């Protein structure tokens, strides 16, 4: 586990313990030096990724970002191709017939 994800993992493990549930987010956040809202976000994401809460998983979000990037690139390529075809057609129309 990386250094950045270590507090997150410890926090999620602590929150999974039912004996520590009441007021857990604030208390565990203080123990780990993590803002309660950040911890709440981590918990929500973990629950979504585990399938215990409805929502878009981390993997799905990443895939959507990749597809959005691909769409932008393809639209740019299509725009270039369309302008090239338009210029080619215009050049052919300007040539004198034989």
pLDDT the model gives residue 2 = 44
Average pLDDT in the chain: 85
Mean pLDDT for 66-90 is 93
Q: Which residue has the higher pLDDT, 88 or 67?
A: 67
13 token code pair: 């493990």
The DSSP result for 19-42, as a single string, is GG-TTHHHHHHHHHT--HHHHHHH
- 1-55 CATH pick, 1.10.10, 2.30.130, 1.10.1060, 3.40.50: 1.10.10
Helix (H) or strand (E) holding 66: helix 58-94
| Res. 53 pLDDT band, cuts 50 70 90 | very high
Cβ atoms of 41 and 33 within 8 Å: the answer is no
Q: What is the pLDDT of residues 16-25, one digit of tens each?
A: 766 566 688 8
* Rounded average pLDDT over 56-75: 98
Residue 65 DSSP SS3? helix
């Amino acid at each position: 586990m990386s250094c950045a994800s270590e507090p997150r993992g410890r926090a999620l493990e602590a929150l999974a313990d039912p004996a520590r549930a009441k007021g857990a987010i604030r208390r565990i956040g203080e123990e780990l030096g993590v803002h309660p809202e950040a911890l709440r976000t981590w918990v929500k994401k973990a629950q979504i990724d585990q399938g215990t809460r409805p929502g878009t998983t981390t993997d799905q979000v990443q895939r959507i970002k990749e597809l959005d990037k691909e769409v932008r690139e393809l639209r740019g390529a299509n725009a270039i191709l369309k302008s090239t075809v338009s210029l080619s057609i215009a050049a052919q129309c300007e040539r004198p017939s034989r």
